[in-house]
Structure 1
Amino acid sequence: MSELMTGATAGVLAEILAERQRQNAKWGQQDHDPSTWLMVLAEEVGEANQAVFETLFPTYDKRAAQRGPRTLAEYRQELIQVAAVAVAAIESLDRQDQSPG
């Protein structure tokens, strides 16, 4: 293990791998064009933004307040999903780059 990679880093990467496996089980292999991947990634980043915003300002949105307070654990889970989607986009790009033609 590199001095830059801690046990915590390995744990986070394992969570991202588990999320990639969950995504593949749910959606199968996805091979979108780059602009579609950016839209999917932006949607995931938006969910992370919403989770942290609702954690910091739980009474800002009445609908959000009715659901109950969000936690930083939910924000963290959204970040894992952001990272997993970014990995999926890279995998897709690599597959397409190796395709003939």
Structure 2
Amino acid sequence: MDGYILQALQDERERQDVKWGANRYLAQETWLTILMEEVGETAKAALEDDPSGYAEELVQVAAVAIAALESHRAGPPSLPRHGEWPECAEQSPPH
């Protein structure tokens, strides 16, 4: 794969992580909505004959797809169990 493309994808993923946070889990439907919004922007750039905007939007489409796949593989965050809640740590154990 072209090194320029890989670097552009990595740069865009880093930009997204700075903007939205690196450790985020979103539902599949939310990721799909974000992805389709980016696809729409890509289509708009193509229809407006904007080659640089088209390429930029394609990178964003690919980067969002990668972020969605990362989120999917990581799965939803686990909820703390009763003894792990912060307020439980403040209480002294029963004698």
User: How does the TM-score come out when normalised to structure 2?
Assistant: 0.75
Deviation at 1:100, TM superposition (A): 5.8
Could you say which residue in structure 1 is the equivalent of 2:83?
none
Q: Which amino acid aligns with 1:18?
A: D
Distance 2:31 2:56 in 1: 19
Decide which of 73, 82, 85 is 1:94's aligned counterpart. Answer: 73
Give the structure 2 partner of residue 37 of structure 1.
31
User: Of the candidates 22, 26, 32, which is equivalent to residue 19 of structure 2?
Assistant: 26
Q: Give distance in 2, aligned partners of 1:10 and 1:93.
A: 26
1:53 Cα shift?
0.5
Extract unaligned runs of 5+ from structure 2.
80-95
The one-letter amino acid of 2:57's match is E
Identity of aligned residues (%): 42
Query: 1:80 and 2:59 equivalent?
Result: yes
Number of residue pairs the alignment of both structures matches: 78
Give the structure-1-normalised TM-score: 0.71
Question: Tell me, which stretches of 5 or more residues in structure 1 are unaligned?
Answer: 56-70
Structure 1 or 2, whichever has the larger Rg, is: 2
